[in-house]
Amino acid sequence: MSEHERETGLFTGSVLFGGLWSDGEVTELLSDRTLIGAMLEVEAVLAEAGQVAGLVPAAAAAAIAAAARGLDIAPEMLAAATARDGVPVPAMVQRLRRAVTGEVAGFVHLGATSQDVLDSAMMRQAAQVLAVIDRRLAQLVARLTALADAHRATMMAGRTRGQIALPVPLGLRIAGWAAPLIRHRRRLTELQPRLLVATLGGPVGSLSGIDPDAAARLEAEFAARLGLTLPPMPGHAQRDGLAELGSWLSLVAGALGKIGADLLIMARSEIAEVRIGGAGGSSAMPHKRNPVRAELLVAAAREVAGRLGALHGALIHAEERDGAAWTVEWQSWPAMAVATAAALNHAGGLLDDLEIDVPAMQARAGDGDDRGSANRFIDRVIADASHADGRLSGEGEDA
């Protein structure tokens, strides 16, 4: 089993199926090597924060930070110990202690526990992954709103409950694909401060053994140097942030699945209002053009939604730390992130190759040209996208 298979699930890491389910950019951000590097950076920052708090001598902090940032630990070096300990941090800390000399080793990992290091490192990874996903969302929204604007006058048969209803502009349907994605970008800016938090609580979440005033300086400096939010208290057994992340990923994947489901119907042979380019071939029927990318959007939405239940189940963290529930998180949210990122790539490719048969649409719509408030709704979505993009990029009104 490959490194990515172990980390993000069988099909997201499979060489054979990776083109369907995986995403190279996001998978690399969640790789074992990237995680080890993030954990070592947490140890470096912990030593530097300890110096600011008066807990670690300056020379020791500098030595630990340099050693942590200079270590190259292959995942294979920690694999056996991780299987034994249930977490890679103890073996990694041992290697870091051996990399420094004398009394300096006693200041390595000062005041922290394994969960502090792993949780904080994973939040650094999550921040990078979410930046990639948000960038792709912005690009997809821009393309969808432009397409909606271009097809204001393209009338098609609106359908409700699988039956032809009244004519409706294609642009309105496409605006309906874009609207939830715009809201999801806003939701992301709202949830990030709750999710991207530093964890530093020590053995039982109370930073025991450290003077409270020094501990306050330590955790504030630790969070600031990692670029993470400082929560009111360490969240060793409070996992709502990751559950919210999973919910958000499922919302995004579900919105993409809606696009895929609509296009699958529109591309049906007996409807043929669109043609999906780059379609897959059949081993038995050479005349077929299978709508693979649209199918993948639906499949990814179902995959991500299925994993959400496991992540919500991990909310039940007993007492001050729960290894069983904690372990479930490692398998769930990275796989959900990879599948969602892959779906965004497929959605972009789908739009690249999409052929819209305007005459076929308008023929089925008949002579009806009553657009009602469709143009106004399309305008609102386009304006909402522009406003959201300005706010999210720091332009426009102050938040």
321 is catalytic: yes
Would residue 371 show up in a list of annotated catalytic residues for this protein? no
| DSSP letters spanning 310-365 | HHHHTT---TT--HHHHHHHHHHHHHHHHHHHHHHHHHHHHHHTEEE-HHHHHHHH
How far apart, in whole angstroms, are the C-alpha atoms of residue 11 and residue 304? 13
325 close to 316: Cβ distance less than 8 angstroms:
yes
Question: Catalytic residue among 98, 282, 373, 380, which?
Answer: 282
Q: Are 230 and 141 in contact (CB under 8 A)?
A: no
Q: Give the amino acid at 322.
A: D
E-strand stretches of the chain = 155-160, 163-169, 274-276, 354-356
Cα 111 to Cα 50, 71, 74, 98, 170, distances in angstroms: 9, 21, 26, 18, 60
Catalytic residue among 187, 194, 225, 321: 321
Given a contact cutoff of 8 angstroms between Cβ atoms, the answer to whether 113 and 201 are in contact is yes
- Is residue 166 classed as helix, strand or coil in its secondary structure? strand
The secondary structure of residue 181, as a DSSP letter, is H
Vertex 236: Cα angle to 330 and 113 (nearest 5)? 90
Of 288, 285, 286, 295, give the one whose Cα is nearest residue 264: 295
Cβ-Cβ contacts under 8 Å for 19 (sequence gap 6 or more): none
Alpha-carbon distance of 328 to 311, in angstroms, equals 7
Helix (H) or strand (E) holding 253: helix 240-266
| Cα(253)–Cα(145) distance, integer angstroms | 19
Q: Which of 120, 144, 132 is nearest to 249 (CA)?
A: 132
Distance CA 212, CA 217 (A): 9
Largest CA distance in the chain: 86
Give the residue numbers marked as catalytic: 282, 321
